[in-house]
Chains A and B, each alone.
Chain A
Amino acid sequence: MNENELFEFADFDETKSEHIAAPRYSYWGSVWKTFFRDRFTVFVSILLLFLICFAMIQPMISGYDPLVAPNVNNPSMRLQAPSAQYIFGTDNVGNSVFDAVWAGTRNSIIVSFVCTFINMVIGIAVGAVWGFSKRLDRIMIEVYNVLSNIPYLLLAMILQYILGAGFKPLIITMCCTDWIFVAYFIRTQVMIIRDREYNLASKCLGTSTGTMITKNILPYLISVIMTYISRTIPSYISAEVFLSYMGLGLGAKNASLGKLISQYTSYMNSYPHMFWIPVFILALISISLYIVGQKLSDAADPRTHM
């Protein structure tokens, strides 16, 4: 055999070396995969989902209304201990604590979700533009200084006085100035990544500020925004509870966790379960919201996708 028979030239396809063997990457696909990888997270998410659904549906079935107390004239119905019929017992006017707690939870959740949504939308929109424009920055910093120094409780009292109690006044109170904090937070984040090289590259390609915000900046902020939301939602639940406790909340017509807690405080020694049950539910929802939010924000960070 000669050399030609022993050896042959192997074909070499240059494009082969460019091929990427890894399976296709999808951002949201990886987010969910990372999120559901942790059993504990899955457990807390299911718990949270169940709590929220239950809080939304149960009051519709019970039809609880704080102004209606059919058993108020029947002393034997008042302050019953927990039983099969009244799972959490009855309160001082003979209503089911179970129904009251869930109706209150429902309203607290609604208020906090709506407030978070409004503040986030306004805050992110304003903050993104604010972070990009040096001229706007000078004006907005002054606006921030003014708005962020308005005492919250004073504002709540004034608005309550003008608008009365109820959902709308409470939501307005909680959104009036709070968006400025979100906006300031987003502004700082935008400033950090605004001058990164890939944004300069976009600028060199003639990309407008609007497109830069939606395509270059916000996708990078998903994770930090998620963290922010996971802290904001529970804080609004607490704020609602606090304001209602102070008598500045949803008013007499609407059930509220804060109002229940304040009403039941006087029974803390005689009937402790009445006080601790709404507090416990409040804590459970706040903590699981926080955990799920944090885990989502971790999963939204592509560095965790490897």
Chain B
Amino acid sequence: MSNTNKEVLLSVKHVDIAFNNEGKKFRAVKDANFDIYKGETFALVGESGSGKTTIGRAILRINECDKGEIVFKGKRISGKISKEEDTNVIRSIQMIFQDPAASLNERATIEYCISEGLYNFHLYKDEADRITKVDQALTSVGLLPEHKSRYPHEFSGGQRQRVGIARAMIMEPELIVADEPISALDVSIRAQVLNLMNKFKEEKGLTYLFIAHDLSVVRFIADRIAVIHHGRIVEIAESEELFRYPLHPYTISLLSAVPMPDPQIEKKKELVVYDELKRDLSGPKPVLQEIRPGHFIFANDREMAEYEAKLQVMEKEHEALGE
């Protein structure tokens, strides 16, 4: 593992995000702490309502952090920042939304939707230049320049999602927060959108924060995975490592939900249900600790010892299998 010599693009440092629900404070994100390295796809996985979108929106400065800070390229971007830096953040961090039907302005043409960012910062020399840029953006996502004058409702879900990608890409961002970009899409076109995202990653050296609610989607596209449960990040590891040595019971339950391609195995597979109440939570307060280089787990010292033992057993098994 050579994370130490990778450049950190974004760090989320001990971030707490709370919402006011009729006077009561609801902590949607608790002490989130992770780094995203330049050029990687970092996945954030957890069930519905676990606070994934909330973290994503905090990075885009839509949600405010109650505690902690978010640092992008060495500069704090959470809380109050100068107008100039705000512009910078907007241009460097873009978002792809979950619902392509809801995230495009239905009363505007595709041309306007894609040009919106260009207009806001006047990122074009003249009208002809803007049109060229829009055409390029459309072709780069596999759409046609003739689509410019159409309205979003004339497109299929997959096409709309690609319009959403083109709209983000035209800003030439460095980081893209993709909030479940394929969950609302038909299974048959999911691969198309994922391939497109991978293409941009390779061509432009993009970095992704990829939000998903199940591990199966993430396995083949993420370099590293963070598992989040009830606003708390419980495990972070490289994809390979996480699938090979899952430690936290919640991660294990998520993994058990990943469908197996073999029906015989799938039939025998046991679904592990994670129930926080049934766990032994005694001992000091758990924190996110590094158990192996790059593999973090939310545990206290007692649990840490258990995980360590478990991990050693698993490593032995793998070694035996490998030989």
Q: Which residues of A contact B (CB under 8 A)?
A: 14-15, 18-20, 22, 24-25, 27, 196-198, 200-208, 211, 215-216, 219-220, 302
Contacts and interface: CB of A to CB of B under 8 A. Distances in A.
Contact of A206 (B103, B117, B155): B117
A23 to B, nearest CB: 10
A190 to B, nearest CB: 15
Given A18-B143, A205-B116, A198 B103 contact: yes
B151 A201 contact: no
The 5 closest A-B CB pairs, nearest first, are A219-B107, A205-B117, A206-B90, A197-B102, A206-B120
B97 interface: yes
Interface residues of B, number: 39
Contacts, number: 85
Given A18-B159, A25-B151, A197-B97, A205 B90 contact: yes
Contacts of B91: 206
Interface in B66-121: 87, 90-91, 94-95, 97-99, 102-108, 112, 116-117, 119-121
Contacts of A197: 97-99, 102-103
Contacts of B144: 15, 18-19
Nearest to B142: A18
10 contacts: A19-B146, A20-B155, A196-B102, A197-B99, A198-B102, A205-B116, A207-B116, A208-B120, A211-B120, A215-B105
Nearest to B164: A201
Given A14-B142, A302-B153, A202 B147 contact: no
Contacts of B150: 20, 24-25
Contacts of A211: 119-120
Given A18-B159, A205-B90, A198 B117 contact: no
B167 interface: yes
Contact of A205 (B147, B149, B155, B167): B167
Nearest to A20: B154
Interface of B: 57, 60, 62, 87, 90-91, 94-95, 97-99, 102-108, 112, 116-117, 119-121, 142-144, 146-147, 149-151, 153-155, 159, 164, 167, 171
Q: Which has the most chain B C-beta neighbours within 10 Å: A24, A203, A205, A302?
A: A205
Contacts of A205: 90, 94, 116-117, 120, 167, 171
Contacts of B120: 205-208, 211
A211 B105 CA distance: 13
B104 A200 contact: no
A27 to B, nearest CB: 7
A215 B115 CA distance: 13
Contacts of A20: 147, 150, 154-155
Contacts of A203: 62
Q: Which has the most chain B C-beta neighbours within 10 Å: A18, A204, A211?
A: A204
Chain A contact residues, majority secondary structure:
helix
A200 B54 CA distance: 13
A220 B108 CA distance: 10
A294 B87 CA distance: 43
Contacts of B167: 201, 205
A302 B99 CA distance: 20
Nearest to A14: B142
Nearest to A201: B103
A202 B164 CA distance: 11
A211 B142 CA distance: 29
B116 A202 contact: yes
Nearest to B158: A18
Given A204-B60, A205-B171, A198 B104 contact: yes
Nearest to B139: A15
Given A201-B95, A206-B90, A216-B105, 11 more contacts: A20-B147, A25-B151, A27-B107, A198-B102, A198-B104, A198-B105, A201-B167, A202-B116, A215-B108, A215-B112, A302-B106
Contacts of B97: 197, 200-201
A24 B142 contact: no
B151 to A, nearest CB: 5
Nearest to A212: B105
Nearest to B143: A18
A131 B171 CA distance: 29
A215 B62 CA distance: 20
Contacts of B105: 198, 201-202, 215-216
